[in-house]
Amino acid sequence: MGKFKRWLYNKFLPAWCKDDLLESNARLAEQIDAQRREIDRLNAYIRGMESAIRRSARITVYGNEAKRQ
């Protein structure tokens, strides 16, 4: 949190409001971090699946028979 915001909160907000605001901000920051980690994990999974699909053998279907290339 920036110096100006901290000063503004300490100067003009009542104690109960300031405490509630700081607790809410901390809780929301934790949620954001958890969601960011989950997004990174899912993107890694997606990249792995894409690379596996790119490296898999190509299948060509001619009529009733299939050939792997």
**Domain extent listing, the chain:** 3-68
Tokens of 3: 């110096």
How far apart, in Å, are the Cα atoms of 66 and each of 15, 52, 54, 59, 62? 73, 21, 19, 7, 6
Say what the pTM is.
0.63
Give Cβ neighbours of residue 11 (< 8 Å, ≥ 6 apart). Answer: none
Per residue in 17-45, pLDDT tens?
888 988 999 999 999 999 999 999 999 99
CB atoms within 10 A of CB 49: 10
Q: Where are the beta strands (DSSP E) in 1-69?
A: 59-62, 65-68
pLDDT, tens digit, for every residue of 39-56?
999 999 999 999 988 887
Q: Calculate what percentage of the chain has a pLDDT beyond 70.
A: 86
